[in-house]
């Protein structure tokens, strides 16, 4: 069996991450309780609603063990709301939402516009062979500032939309919706 990859499944776009990971030969596990993190090699924080996920991280008891995994340097992929939850600073957030601060980014929620302004576009991803990646943005955040240790792998309108800092990969878009496995493949290379 492949690497055990936890997909935090409190809310949001969980199912397709699980499918993509399985297609890549990993062993995905939907994580709703701290016990389900046992033996996890890597983690996905999916898209959805970061304010809701933040609440559910507390009520599920997952916040502390996930923070511990991140502090241990476990590879993590955060997409959209997941990017927000990994960032060091969140603009236009709710006062009570909390992020893990695992990647040195300031992100602005819903920055590309409201639901009606969701869009798809082809982005060129640094180091990704096979041409541009068709990226689906849904009430996406964008990155306002990146810290010195952050690599920007893709931008849209000069805004970083894919960033990496060590084992942490954060995308403003939903790579699981494209039918293109390459971004998850890139993530799995680090696992
Ligand atoms: N706007 C959402 C938030 O703030 C993110 C949207 C998404 O994950 N597709 O959490």
Q: Domain containing 133 — which CATH number? A: 3.40.50.880
The reply to whether 134 belongs to the active site is: no
DSSP lists the bridge partners of residue 163 as 152, 170
Q: pLDDT tens for residues 36-82?
A: 999 999 999 999 999 999 999 999 999 999 999 999 999 999 999 99
Q: pLDDT tens for residues 7-38?
A: 999 999 999 999 999 999 999 999 999 999 99
DSSP lists the bridge partners of residue 119 as 137
How many Å lie between the centroid of ligand 1 and the Cα of residue 104?
A: 19
Q: Which residue range is the domain that position 59 belongs to?
A: 4-189
Confidence at 114, pLDDT banded by 50, 70, 90? low
Q: pLDDT tens for residues 119-164?
A: 999 999 999 999 999 999 999 999 999 999 999 999 999 999 999 9
Q: Which atom of ligand 1 is nearest to the CA of 93?
A: 4
Confidence at 113, pLDDT banded by 50, 70, 90? confident
Mutate to test the pocket of ligand 1, among 111, 139, 175 (most ligand atoms within 8 A of CB): 139
| Structural domain total, the chain | 1
Residue 117 pLDDT: 81
78 is written with which tokens?
A: 């955060």
Share of the chain above pLDDT 70, in %: 98
Is 178 a residue whose pLDDT tops 90?
A: yes
Residue 128, SS3 per DSSP: coil
Q: Give the residue ranges of DSSP H helices in 123-165.
A: none
Strand bridging mode 159-165 / 151-156: antiparallel
Is 189 a residue whose pLDDT tops 70?
A: yes
User: Strands across the sheet with 87-91, in order?
Assistant: 87-91, 103-108, 142-146
CB 46 within 8 A of CB 32: no
CA 188, 107, 18 angle in degrees (round to 5)? 30
183 is written with which tokens?
A: 């971004």
Residue 134 pLDDT: 98
From 80, 159, 163, 184, the catalytic residue = 80
Is 116 a residue whose pLDDT tops 90?
A: no
């Amino acid at each position: 069996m492949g690497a055990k990859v936890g997909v935090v499944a409190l809310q949001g776009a969980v199912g397709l991450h699980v499918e993509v990971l399985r297609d890549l030969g990993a062993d995905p596990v939907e994580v709703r309780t701290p016990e389900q993190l046992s033996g996890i090699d890597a983690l996905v924080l999916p898209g959805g609603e970061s304010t809701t996920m933040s609440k559910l991280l507390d009520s599920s008891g997952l916040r502390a063990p996930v923070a511990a995994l991140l502090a241990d340097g476990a590879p993590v992929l955060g997409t959209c709301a997941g990017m927000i939850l990994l960032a060091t600073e969140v603009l236009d957030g709710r006062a009570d939402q909390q992020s893990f601060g695992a990647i040195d980014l300031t992100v602005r929620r819903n920055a590309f516009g409201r639901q009606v302004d969701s869009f798809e576009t082809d982005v060129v991803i640094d180091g990704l062979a096979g041409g541009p990646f068709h990226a689906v943005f849904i009430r996406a955040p964008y990155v306002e500032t990146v810290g010195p240790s952050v690599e920007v792998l893709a931008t849209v309108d000069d805004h970083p939309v894919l960033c990496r800092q060590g084992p942490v990969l954060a995308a403003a878009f939903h790579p699981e919706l494209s039918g293109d496995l390459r971004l998850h493949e890139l993530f799995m290379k680090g696992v």
